[in-house]
Amino acid sequence: MASFQELQALNAEIAALARAGVPLELGLSQLARTLPRRLGGLSGRIAARLQEGHSLVEALRQEGRGVSPIYVAVVEAALTVNRLPEALDALVAQAVAVRDLRRRLALAMIYPGIVAVVAYVFFLLFLLQVPLTVLEVLDFAPRRLDEGTRQVRAVLSAISQSATLWGPLVPAGLVLLLAFVARMACVASGLRTDAGRGLLSGMWIPGVAQVYADLDRCQATALLQMLLEHQVPLPRALRLSAGSTASQSLRQSFEQLAGAIEEGRPLKVALERAPRLPTLIQRVFTLEHVQGGLPSALQQVATIFRRRALRRVDWLRAVFAPAFLTVVGGGATLMYALALFLPLRSLWDNL
């Protein structure tokens, strides 16, 4: 699949050609000679299909998995209302927001992550040296070791001697666990299982899945607003917007709502067919008199989704990172204390 940078560059080129009124098949074929190899090949293939008489949407769909279906859906919706440059600019802005989210999360987790790695490495080195030394001293204790001391000695000895075996397995297991949690959080939020891109997306952090969901809702709502603003019938606008979301529940809700409206049901009754539709969007559809009409209200809802996502990111940076650092630092200190003072206490009791 084309990378974010490649789609962003292709977006910019197509938007510029559309604004200038240059035929896309001509402009893309010329650009294919100057762009980098992979992006140039993509532009060349699209231009060739356009010259064969295919539409831009068909040309993009023939790329298969090479181009995101969400990107194709946005292009199709934009061409419906002849607003391709604006829609592509909005798509790039959405992708930039997601990339900025990941960058913020990465920056917030760098220091706690370094602390966790260093603390774990030093804990392993500590287990390989200090407890064994203290336990060896116990062998020279003047009094016979009691049963509890012998059990503590046996456990610490086994842990210390096998540290080279279980030491690498613990972080590997933790990574797999976090990747699983990220996947489950993605499913619980209604997003596709590949939308969060696993561990690096930060979906395992509480609240991050909701951030991605809000950004996704913002994109779908803004596209729906643009379509309705240009007098596209509501069922058609809902179906086009459904293709632009990574959320299975939101896509199904839009499709169900569109189907109910096409059956001639009143809007309030049709909403009962889409119980998983986000509350904010439901309220907009249920209002009988909206100042500025439904498109204006949807634009405000899209803004609310975006602002809510940004507020969640700021909260995560202000609260989660310090809390995570406290847990890691406190946990490391506790492990050091237990690994050192349990043998020392046994040594003291047997002197």
Do the beta carbons of residue 205 and residue 178 sit within 8 Å? no
DSSP 97-134: HHHHHHHHHHHHHHHHHHHHHHHHHHHHHHHHHHHHHH
Looking at residue 347, its pLDDT comes to: 59
Give yes or no for residue 274 having a pLDDT over 70: yes
Do the beta carbons of residue 270 and residue 277 sit within 8 Å? no
pLDDT band with cut points at 50, 70 and 90 for residue 269: confident
Using a pLDDT cut of 90, give the percent of the chain over it: 1
Question: Helices then strands (H, E): number in the chain?
Answer: 15, 0
| Max mean pLDDT range (98-102, 136-140, 173-177) | 173-177
Looking at residue 117, its pLDDT comes to: 83
pLDDT tens, position by position, 239-255:
988 888 888 888 888 99
Nearest residue to 179 (alpha-carbon basis) of 167, 162, 197, 165 = 197
Q: Which residue has the tokens 């059956």?
A: 263
**66 Rama sector, left if φ>0, alpha if ψ -120 to 50, beta otherwise:** alpha
Q: Is 247 helix (H, G, I), strand (E, B) or coil?
A: strand
Q: Which has more pLDDT, 168 or 101?
A: 168
**With 0-12 CB in 10 A as exposed, 13-18 as middle and 19+ as buried, what is 189?**
buried
Mean pLDDT of the chain: 77
Question: Averaged over 303-327, what is the pLDDT?
Answer: 83
Give yes or no for residue 12 having a pLDDT over 60: yes
Looking at residue 292, its pLDDT comes to: 54
Tokens of 248: 């299975």
Q: What angle do CA 65, 99, 69 make, to 5 degrees?
A: 20
Looking at residue 351, its pLDDT comes to: 57
Give yes or no for residue 168 having a pLDDT over 50: yes
pLDDT band with cut points at 50, 70 and 90 for residue 110: confident
Q: Rounded CA gap, 33 and 46, in Å?
A: 13
| Max mean pLDDT range (20-24, 83-87, 172-176, 249-253) | 249-253
- Indicate the angle between helix axes 234-242 and 69-80, nearest 10 degrees: 160
Tokens of 217: 């809702």
Looking at residue 59, its pLDDT comes to: 85
Give yes or no for residue 196 having a pLDDT over 50: no
Q: What is the CA radius of gyration of the chain?
A: 29
A 10 A CB-CB count for 277 gives: 19
**With 0-12 CB in 10 A as exposed, 13-18 as middle and 19+ as buried, what is 167?**
middle
Do the beta carbons of residue 182 and residue 195 sit within 8 Å? no
Whole-model pTM: value is: 0.69
Question: Phi and psi dihedrals of 171, rounded to 5?
Answer: -65, -35
Nearest residue to 178 (alpha-carbon basis) of 113, 95, 245 = 113
Looking at residue 343, its pLDDT comes to: 63
Looking at residue 5, its pLDDT comes to: 64
